[in-house]
Amino acid sequence: MDVAAQYCPTRKKLEERILILVDRLDQLTSRLNLTVGNDHEEFISARADCHNTQAEIHDSRLHLQIHRSEHGC
């Protein structure tokens, strides 16, 4: 990998976005676990938030894969 590819700002941005989303999913999963058996409405809301975040992670990973294959970084 050449130096330009090593320090690709676009790749770094995409990777950081994934890390932020994974952290959010961790927090949402904790929230989801706390609501089990206690608050059905909050459980449904937390479950939807988890699902949406998982979809964002999937999309971000796809964008990262496409970027890497197009730019070799």
Q: Is residue 43 over pLDDT 70? A: yes
31: Cβ–Cβ under 8 A, 6 or more apart, which residues? 42, 46, 49
Query: Is residue 57 within 8 Å of residue 22, measured between CB atoms?
Result: yes
Cα–Cα distance, 26 to 20 (Å, whole number): 10
Cα–Cα distance, 72 to 24 (Å, whole number): 29
63 phi and psi, to 5 degrees? -60, -40
44-53 residue pLDDT tens: 999 999 999 9
19-37 residue pLDDT tens: 999 999 999 999 999 999 9
pLDDT at 29: 96
pTM score > 0.95 for this model? no
Domain ranges of the chain: 3-71
pLDDT at 72: 86
Q: What percent of the chain has pLDDT over 90?
A: 84
